[in-house]
Amino acid sequence: MPFTCQIPVKSYIKTYIENNCGSPADLTQLPEINSLFLTCLKSPRFSRDKQIKCNYSHSVDIIISSDYFYRYGWQLSKTDIVHFNTRCEAFIKFNSRQFIMANSSLGIPVSRSIREFQATFKFPEDSFSYDAIKKDFERHGAKIPLKFDREYKQELFNIFLESLSTLGTVSKSFKHELDNQTRSP
């Protein structure tokens, strides 16, 4: 049986870690989060331990190698638990905003993008709610102008012109002239 460390976390952090790393979680599947965890374990900080209550509603078990277990222990300080949660939260919210912005740039409504994010990354409503994701996106996300439509249309037009030119129904010089017209604003 591997050694584990139990860390209190927010519900969507637990969902994210367990979806990606199993239960107990093998954080080597998420190198950035694993590095954060090992740093917290190796170099504990206690600067805010007296001020922090650390009352997260969920917890996640994280696998620790025997080497780390015997060298550094199996607990994080309250300061490091909050730091771990804060960094994981930032990472997850960044991913959600990127997903929503990418979909928005394709013309997909934000509401549908949020639901797709929840479904794709397996966040049930009680873990990472639609409203929480929407609020975060409204505060920190960016609405991308719909450039894809214009660029996609331009690329299709280029393929169309190339085909017509190859078939000989449009001359190469006329194709070149049309191509220049569509590129200029």
Give the residue among 131, 136, 130 at the shortest CA–CA distance from 117.
130
Residue 150 is predicted with a pLDDT of 65
Tens of pLDDT, residue by residue over 125-137, are 999 999 999 999 9
- Short-list 5, 14, 7, CA closest to 80: 7
* pLDDT > 90? residue 117: yes
Record the pTM.
0.73
Concatenated DSSP letters of 93-161: HHHHHHHHHHHHHTT--HHHHHHHHHHHTT--TTTS-HHHHHHHHHHH--PPP--HHHHHHHHHHHHHH
